[in-house]
């Protein structure tokens, strides 16, 4: 038995996006029960989240339902793009080349560096006075 939807997980920093993608008549993205434009307040974040669907030319219209948690809005948008890209690559293998060229299939490994003992932050030290 084959399922009618495809699931994928995308990550960025501490944000995790779980996506369910199914074929539809018109493309739509829903994030935590809200439309993508409603969930991400700025147009830039919404555009980043939907970027994978516009990059994958020749991909059919899909209804995307996502659950996003952790991190900030920027990391959540990137995690959502990563998850949608993974689901698209699984659904339509011919889109993989374009998504890979746009680096949407690679998880961004950058994360916050841990704080070290004796320092204020990861690398910032207290001001030092000679006298």
Sheet strands (E) in the chain: 6-12, 15-23, 28-31, 34-35, 62-69
Residue 120 lies in a domain: no
Query: Is the residue at 124 inside a domain?
Result: no
Distance CA 104, CA 9 (A): 13
More confident residue, 56 or 42: 42
Is residue 72 situated within a structural domain? yes
- Partners of residue 18 on adjacent β-strands: 9, 67
* CATH code, domain carrying 12: 3.30.230.10
pLDDT over 70, % of the chain: 98
- Residue 17 domain flag: yes
How does pLDDT run across 70-98, given as a tens digit for each residue? 999 999 999 999 999 999 999 999 999 99
Confidence at residue 92, expressed as pLDDT on a 0 to 100 scale: 92
* CA-wise closest residue to 61 among 7, 8, 9, 21: 21
User: pLDDT (tens digit, 9 = 90+) per residue, 108-123?
Assistant: 999 999 999 999 999 9
Would you say residue 129 lies in a domain? no
Q: How many domains would you assign to the chain?
A: 1
Give the pLDDT of residue 3. Answer: 60
- Residue-number span of the structural domain to which 29 is assigned: 6-101
Number of H helices, E strands in the chain: 4, 5
Assigned domain for 87 exists: yes
pLDDT at 1 over 80: no
112 domain residue, yes or no: no
- Domain membership flag for residue 1: no
């Amino acid at each position: 038995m084959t399922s009618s939807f495809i699931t994928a997980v995308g990550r960025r920093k501490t944000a995790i996006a779980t996506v369910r993608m199914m074929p539809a008549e018109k493309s739509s993205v829903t994030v935590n029960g809200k439309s993508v434009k409603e969930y991400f307040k700025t147009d830039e974040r919404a555009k980043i989240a939907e970027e994978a669907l516009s990059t994958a030319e020749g991909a059919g219209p899909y209804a995307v339902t996502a659950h996003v948690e952790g991190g900030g809005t920027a990391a959540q948008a990137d995690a959502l793009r990563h998850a949608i890209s993974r689901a698209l690559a699984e659904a339509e293998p011919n889109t993989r080349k374009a998504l890979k060229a746009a680096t949407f299939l690679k998880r961004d490994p950058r994360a916050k560096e841990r704080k070290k003992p004796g320092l204020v932050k990861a690398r910032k030290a207290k001001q030092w006075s000679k006298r």
